[in-house]
Amino acid sequence: MYGRQTECAIAAMSRLAEVYDGGKTQLSAADIARSRGLPGPFVAKILSALSKAGLVTCARGPGGGATLARHPSEIRLFDVFRLFEREDLRTQCPFGGGICGQGEPCPLHHKLLAMRSAMNTLLLDTTFDEFRIAQAARARESASGSRAVTPLWQRQSETLKRPAKKREPRKPTRQPRSTRRAK
């Protein structure tokens, strides 16, 4: 649905939304990268683009970092999406047969329109405040001793950080030449 830059930007913005406290807490690109399992230099590049667009405020140097430029409830997923994705104005049917909407529709026409509509609704109606609210709920559950549910993205990034298990050496499938029978 969208590219790697958009995915990284949404991940970085969601992390900044989770810690949003009016701009007091700043996270470095390395902090964001570590928490989301992303490459640090790539996150730094994305933060630069987000800063130029006015979505984050960045401070350089020791104690510096990035924070959201506005309250998370004022920033929609679409605001990030449009920075890195071109609007798809194609009218060609992806399955051939000419221009979508003209003539007989393809078998998937209505499903494709529904999917595009659902994606637009998600992007336009979802703000980064949802991440801030979810993080606050997890913190409350953790403080009260309730078993907090770890989000899927966090479980996946933790899995990536685990050291690889040592493998047993493979057993030879063939006998060494010296033990083979002569024909």
Identify the CA nearest to 13 among candidates 163, 129, 142.
129
Condensed to tens digits (0 to 9), the pLDDT of residues 24-80 reads: 999 999 999 999 999 999 999 999 999 999 999 998 888 889 999 999 999 999 999
**Residue 171 in domain:** no
CATH of the domain at 72: 1.10.10.10
Identify the CA nearest to 20 among candidates 62, 55, 46.
55
Helix 4-18, helix 40-52: angle, nearest 10: 80
* Parent domain of 115: 4-161
CA 145, CA 58: separation in Å to the nearest integer? 35
Q: What is the pLDDT of residue 55?
A: 97
Between 112 and 16, residue with greater pLDDT: 16
**Residue 172 in domain:** no
Q: What is the pLDDT of residue 78?
A: 95
Domain count, the chain: 1
| Residues pairing with 57 in the sheet | 67
**Residue 176 in domain:** no
**Residue 137 in domain:** yes
Q: What is the pLDDT of residue 154?
A: 56
Strand ranges (E), the chain? 56-59, 65-68
**Residue 167 in domain:** no
Between 145 and 3, residue with greater pLDDT: 3
CA 68, CA 50: separation in Å to the nearest integer? 9
**Residue 168 in domain:** no
**Residue 57 in domain:** yes
Condensed to tens digits (0 to 9), the pLDDT of residues 135-156 reads: 988 888 888 776 555 555 555 5
Between 31 and 171, residue with greater pLDDT: 31
Contact 127, 76 (CB under 8 A): yes
**Residue 177 in domain:** no
CA 175, CA 108: separation in Å to the nearest integer? 56
